[in-house]
Amino acid sequence: MAAECGLRVPRTLITNRPEAAREFANRIGGPVVYKPFTPIRGTVGGESVAVYASVLRPEDIGHPSIAATAHLFQEWVPKAYEVRLTAVGGRLFAAEIHAESDAARTDWRSDYDSLRYRVCEPPAEVAVGVHHVLARLGLPYGAFDFVVTPSGNWVFLEVNPNGQYGFVEQATGLPITAAICDYLEEDER
């Protein structure tokens, strides 16, 4: 649907069939990202741990345990940085996320201490695509994640209808909370 709305989307497969995952990875022919659908957190040896996105080689994919539940596999997109774009009632707030550790370059959520942020403006075609996605989904709010390639192309990864925004607001000063309040006050009229 995001592609239909004009956003660039990496090749993606959701499956619980090990052979389908292996075939997809072989067709990609390069690194593939595995992402859990929901946060997976727990403790190991008394320490808090979480499962984040992982980069896999095609030969790493196809384990029989894939059959246990649905998994998301996605083509790895080379990145200069990522962007969290928070949309609130038609307003867009975008911040570049620059990762300074190997773990955060794979999944920025894994190492918040290594991140730097910078306010940015999405390209016009991305802004139009985001508005179309929100309209099609009937959402007044969305936390969109993009990879920005070394050549400057914005590639859509996902939208979360209740995604976090506080860390972006704290780091950049973007008035996202105020925009949410404005939206809620307008909705009451």
What class, spelled out in words, does domain 81-188 have in CATH?
A: alpha beta
What is the DSSP pairing of strand 91-99 with strand 40-44? Answer: unpaired
Sequence ranges of the chain with CATH classification 3.30.470.20 = 81-188
CA-based torsion, 86, 150, 36, 99: positive or negative: negative
- Reported pTM: 0.86
pLDDT at 150 over 60: yes
Residue bearing the bigger pLDDT, 134 or 49 = 134
Check residue 39 and give its pLDDT: 58
What confidence score (pLDDT) does residue 8 get? Answer: 97
Residue 110 pLDDT > 80: no
